[in-house]
Amino acid sequence: MMDIEKNILLEGQKVIAAILPNLPSAPGTYRMLGAVGEVLYVGKANNLKKRVAAYTRTDRLSARIQRMVARTRSMVFAVARSEAEALLMEASLIKALKPRYNILMRDDKSYADILIATQHDFPRILKHRGVRSDPGEYFGPFASTVAVNETIDALQKAFMLRNCSDAFFGQRTRPCLQYHIRRCTAPCVGMVSRGDYAAQVEGARAFMKGKSRDVQEDLLRRMQAASDAEEYEKAAVLRDRLQALAAVQGKQAVHLSRPLDADVFAVHEGCVSVFVFRAGRNYGNASFFPKGGDDMEPGGRLAAFLPQYYEGKVPPPLVLVSVPVDEGNLVATALGTRIVLPQRGIRKDMVALARENARQEWGRHVADAATQAGLLEKLGKAFSCPHSIRRIEVYDNSHFMGADPVGAMVVAGPEGFAKSSYRKFNIRQAAGNDDFAMMREVFSRRFRDSNPKDSTFPDLLLIDGGLGQLHAVQDSLRALGLQGKRPFVAAIAKGPDRNAGHERIFIPGRKTPLVFPPGDPLLFFVERLRDEAHRFAIGSQRKRRTKTAMTSPLDDLPGIGSSRKRALIQRFGSIKAVSRASVADLLQVPGISAAMAQRIFNHFHA
């Protein structure tokens, strides 16, 4: 090691050594901070003093950890009641802070659950993401959204449960399309009794809990009885319900001979493959490529990965793994599950399936990364970019006739699109039909507090637009003091007559736009970047527009929460009908006092 590197390492070592005397011998978490306060690493320990002392023995550390120690200028600590609690604290901090030297999950999307919502007399079935705060019974989470959608579709066909919102349910006066295509029994208009609908719900519950054979035998028995009674239309409905259950079981090709709730994890090189089994059926799989930890053994990677994976999720009773997990008992205790390395039987086969999937995914990932890195290098040369390109940010704006404008940013790098880094900007000041002003607002908010030394600072900004948008962005960066060589800026505009394949790239300092020849891989690459930004911008704008459309005049009334709004809608059927109601009519609604009824009436008749 060079003398200057030794001196830097020694400086970090001295910082840590100076902290040691005041550290407790208790469980907790620690954060190692750099010169400007950036979080380099988050760790946990059963004994903080012993764990941190290990960083002072630099000759025993790997090269990666030595670099981390050399950068350390201060540390922050939090004491926990147990090592298991410290482990969960560590996982939460890693996901929130994304330290450079930790193993990071590359995909932090929330997985979908299937929810049978029970806050209504006639429960509905729906896909649910996020915190399990709504009343009801949850099944999941599942890695495959496709499998969840197919299962809900099959459950609607088989058990004919409603999927409409409570507000929509409350204002129906006749059956909707779902009833006519035999996916709902129309409880909204009394086409089914509460008892019969409860039986439908119970059937769906039983199926999701792995009692599919009992459910199918019951449907088969009822179908035969209807046929014997010459009620052929009823028998046909029951036949269709049986076929729906058979279809969803057929699509979940990998299944077990008996009900089992388990997640299966396998590691191959830098890939972690996850398979999800619920009630003995395969509900999909996902592959992750955690960032960092290249010098760690597979067991250490899983030990760091599992708490992050289950952050905000409920683990199944059993977790199967392909390698022994470092501190496996501690991780299992913290998560409230069992971690098992199977040695024989069907469970070993499940792990083998996940391991082979991880091997295949890693091969594809390496090949894709090599291709992506090559494209980034060629793009830099084509644009005459003075520095290498590792992070591209692509920007686009979207609005609907000037209303609900949104700016969108997507991020790409050597490993493809980094969806966890995408951002949307709800435009607050600029007019929705002023594209240049929208760009200026977006860039002002994006770069107002940014640091060019930060790892999330872009090397290239690609703007969906022409020369005008390019100048607007340059003006914004100049006003922010970022008019240097980084970030490099370019704008992509559609060709004549807006023809795809004839895009023009506007680059500062270049008199004529850059035009790639048809079929050039770089043309497809920049088109893919532009199209992803366009897709994200339109999707974000539609969500904002939908949210605006869903707002209610009752939202402006203090004291009217979701429960009272639901009661009003169920009583009158619509907001319009509420606005026409008299004070006497409003008093008939549960939870509406005389003062509240008068306030609602005045709100609509002021």
One domain for residues 245 and 267: no
One domain for residues 234 and 283: no
Q: Is the pLDDT of residue 282 over 80?
A: no
Nearest to 311 by CA among 105, 136, 543: 105
Q: Is the pLDDT of residue 255 over 50?
A: no
Give the CATH number for residue 581.
1.10.150.20
Q: Is 547 helix (H, G, I), strand (E, B) or coil?
A: helix
Instruction: Give the mean pLDDT of 385-411.
Output: 89
pLDDT at position 129: 80
Task: Identify the domain boundary among 203, 219, 251.
Answer: 251
Q: Tell me: the pLDDT tens digits for 317-363? A: 999 999 999 988 999 998 999 999 999 888 888 888 888 878 877 87
pLDDT at position 489: 92
Task: Please classify residue 541 by burial: count the beta carbons closer than 10 Å to its beta carbon, then call 0-12 exposed, 13-18 middle and 19+ buried.
Answer: buried
The answer to whether residue 579 sits within a structural domain is: yes
One domain for residues 124 and 14: no
pLDDT at position 5: 62
One domain for residues 130 and 270: no
Q: Is the pLDDT of residue 4 over 50?
A: no
One domain for residues 347 and 275: yes
Q: Is the pLDDT of residue 486 over 50?
A: yes
Segment holding 564, helix H or strand E: helix 562-572
The answer to whether residue 107 sits within a structural domain is: no
One domain for residues 562 and 468: no
Q: Is the pLDDT of residue 64 over 50?
A: yes
The answer to whether residue 387 sits within a structural domain is: no
Q: Is 277 helix (H, G, I), strand (E, B) or coil?
A: strand
Segment holding 568, helix H or strand E: helix 562-572
Q: Is 316 helix (H, G, I), strand (E, B) or coil?
A: coil
pLDDT at position 107: 54
Model pTM score: 0.52
Nearest to 15 by CA among 40, 27, 28: 40
Sole residue written with tokens 């005008």: 468
Task: Identify the domain boundary among 251, 272, 301.
Answer: 251
List C-alpha distances in Å: 19 to 44, 47, 56, 81, 584.
16, 14, 11, 21, 71
- Return phi, psi of residue 138, to 5°: -105, 140
Between CA 86 and CA 314 the distance in angstroms is 18
Q: Tell me: the pLDDT tens digits for 366-379? A: 767 777 888 899 99
Q: Tell me: the pLDDT tens digits for 535-576? A: 999 988 888 887 776 666 777 777 787 778 878 877 777 777
- Return phi, psi of residue 460, to 5°: -140, 135
CB atoms within 10 A of CB 180: 10
Q: CA torsion sign, 181 to 187 to 191 to 197? A: positive
Task: Please classify residue 575 by burial: count the beta carbons closer than 10 Å to its beta carbon, then call 0-12 exposed, 13-18 middle and 19+ buried.
Answer: middle
One domain for residues 485 and 523: yes
pLDDT over 90, % of the chain: 16
Between CA 58 and CA 60 the distance in angstroms is 5
Highest-confidence segment of 142-146, 412-416, 558-562: 412-416
pLDDT at position 460: 92
Of the pLDDT bands very low, low, confident and very high (cuts 50, 70, 90), residue 62 is confident
pLDDT at position 497: 59
Domain boundaries, position 77 = 3-97
- Quote the distance between the C-alpha of residue 372 and its chain's center: 24
One domain for residues 582 and 531: no
Give 189 or 154, the one with higher predicted confidence: 189
pLDDT at position 210: 67
- In sequence order, which residues have a C-beta less than 8 Å from that of residue 210 and are 6 or more positions away? 258, 259, 278, 279, 280, 281
pLDDT at position 144: 64
Instruction: Give the mean pLDDT of 474-495.
Output: 83
> How many CA atoms within 13 Å lie on the side-chain side of 92?
12
Instruction: Give the mean pLDDT of 51-58.
Output: 91
Between CA 123 and CA 104 the distance in angstroms is 39
Count of domains in the chain? 5
The answer to whether residue 103 sits within a structural domain is: no
pLDDT at position 258: 60
pLDDT at position 252: 46
Q: Is the pLDDT of residue 81 over 70?
A: yes
DSSP 8-state code for residue 255: B
pLDDT at position 527: 87
Of the pLDDT bands very low, low, confident and very high (cuts 50, 70, 90), residue 133 is confident
Q: Is the pLDDT of residue 291 over 50?
A: yes
Average pLDDT of the chain to the nearest whole number:
83
Give the CATH number for residue 73.
3.40.1440.10
pLDDT at position 1: 47
Of the pLDDT bands very low, low, confident and very high (cuts 50, 70, 90), residue 151 is confident
One domain for residues 37 and 152: no
Q: Tell me: the pLDDT tens digits for 499-510? A: 556 788 999 888
Give the CATH number for residue 471.
3.30.420.340
The answer to whether residue 371 sits within a structural domain is: no
Of the pLDDT bands very low, low, confident and very high (cuts 50, 70, 90), residue 432 is low
The answer to whether residue 532 sits within a structural domain is: yes
Q: Is the peptide bond before 508 cis (omega within 30 degrees of 0)?
A: no
One domain for residues 401 and 500: yes
Q: Is the pLDDT of residue 513 over 50?
A: yes
- Return phi, psi of residue 389, to 5°: -105, 120
Between CA 489 and CA 470 the distance in angstroms is 8
pLDDT over 70, % of the chain: 89
One domain for residues 130 and 239: yes
Nearest to 70 by CA among 11, 20, 136, 21: 11
List C-alpha distances in Å: 202 to 29, 209, 211, 278.
45, 11, 11, 18
Task: Identify the domain boundary among 251, 285, 300.
Answer: 251
The answer to whether residue 498 sits within a structural domain is: yes
Q: Tell me: the pLDDT tens digits for 97-125? A: 888 888 766 555 566 788 898 888 899 99
pLDDT at position 109: 55
Between CA 141 and CA 212 the distance in angstroms is 19
Structure tokens at 257: 């001979």
The answer to whether residue 378 sits within a structural domain is: no
One domain for residues 156 and 238: yes
Q: Tell me: the pLDDT tens digits for 193-249? A: 999 899 889 888 887 776 667 777 777 788 888 877 877 777 777 777 777 766 655
